[in-house]
Structure 1
Amino acid sequence: MAGMQNPVGDTTELLIEHRREIANLVQRIKNRRMQVFGLYATPVALVLTVVVWAGLKVLLWLHGDTPTAINGICTATVFFLAIASVVQLVLEFQSDSPWEDPKTPVRQLKLKLALAEERHVLEARRHTPPVTDRQASYKERIPGEILRLRKESRHYRRLHLLMQWILFISSAAISAVTAWYDPPQPAKGVLIGLGATVTVITAAAGYFKPRERAFNLQQTADSIEQHTTALELGIAPYSAADEKGNLALYATTIEGLRAEQRMREQQLDQPQQGQQSVL
């Protein structure tokens, strides 16, 4: 009947509304923190600028005139900070402030966020969908997870290639500069800089291991995509006639792959000795 309501749809909309409220409160807390920081930091910066200006005058130019450039920079800074302080005070205390939460403590917004999250948890518990629906919903979120893994894999792969090219160019430049300048006294600074660059890049590549991270992420993404394709096509290991069993096996397998990926990340974050003990 047209007049009948869909309880599943109503529950979904309710949970989505809770999500929106939580996201809105999180953003409001960030904005309010910036506002409070500006209210306190701008006057402090104004006072510090005046103190530094006066200190420079006393220490360096007590018996002479302060350079025009110093006076101009300090004057412009003091004027800007004074205007910013006045504007922020007006926005904070005027009745029709464009700020969303004027004169509202951050802890009050945090309390609202905690209550909103608690309401969301309670509503989710009261209207928990069946396991099959949750598994089907989980399957629909997997393509986004695959895209995320591949995006991170590309990031680390590009970082690894950038490091390698810097190493190649710096190593070649050291040889070229050494051969060009003999004795190398005029280019001593260049050689020191190139040597330091090679050392830093080598150490960073060995510590952060971008190549290994890119490989692990790409491998996990490929494995997840392979299982997703197998489920959609109904081929092994998801060729059983029981759709519920296939979804359960799929969710178990994907969570296992994600757990394995997290374990690899933890191993890469540990020192070499710690990795050997874990392995």
Structure 2
Amino acid sequence: MISRLWAELPGISPELAAADRAAVADWHAGGGDGDSEGLDGEGDWHADEADGASEEAEAGDEYPVLLRLISLGSSFAVRVDRMSAWQRERLLGLLEEVLVSGTEDEQNAVATGFLEALVTAYDRGDFDLATVWHELGEESRHYIKIWNTRTGVAVPYWMTLREPPEPQPAGAAVALLRESCDRLANADDRLLGTSTETRSAEPDYDLQHRVENMAAEFVRDFREIDRSSRAKVFEALEKVVLGAPEDDVTAIAERFVPALVTGYRLGVFHPMPILSGLGAHTAHYFNKVNEEMEWEME
């Protein structure tokens, strides 16, 4: 499938194709890292030099696909503002196809090559990833979100929501969790059926303990909760973390998220369904709590 990408690249973007030919030729010439006297100020070779060099390059060993995709990602980041929506969507669509149905080596190369090159350019402030975020395919966005949660990088809201987060009222942690899943609402109703004396024994019981109780229910019945309801719970958590008052955020960060981490550590579920479903900001709390638990065990 990668060969199809290179075959279609000239028709998608002559600029990117020329830069790609230049990178291949430079590697064969011994440059290795893509820096060469033939590059202009933006990382381009002149097209006539690139065309001539590429013919010679075809006779040598194959340019490593990972390095080629890193170069393509860097070139894309530099030129994204000069590309049309069709050009961007076509290129990103082909890469998405590789992620979905390419060989394992091809999938790894697209992910660790092209996509990580985009993230690196974004982290350096050289490229605004937000401008193409929703032109990326679902698997591409998924990989970038997982990569960010693993590296602990702060993630902007637009990676999980299309619009800026709406401010949430006090008590949103309880309200949104109840709305997201009937099992959580039922567990909350059972808790509210306890005596008034028990409920008022500690400050903030109606927030902290209700969130903790619903978290325990979610972990305990995780395998019985359908995927749609899980997704709604994850969305509710992210909305609270992004836009609710501090007390609600604290309840999620200190009661709900630790319950998820404990569930993973006890083998109730594998962490991947959690990390792949959580919003980026909630996942950041998950990783932080998980690391703290590891330190405590050492």
Q: Same fold (TM over 0.5)?
A: no
- What TM-score, normalized to structure 2? 0.25
User: Whose helix fraction is larger, Structure 1's or Structure 2's?
Assistant: 1
Greater relative CO (CA pairs within 8 A, separation 6+): 1
- What TM-score, normalized to structure 1? 0.26
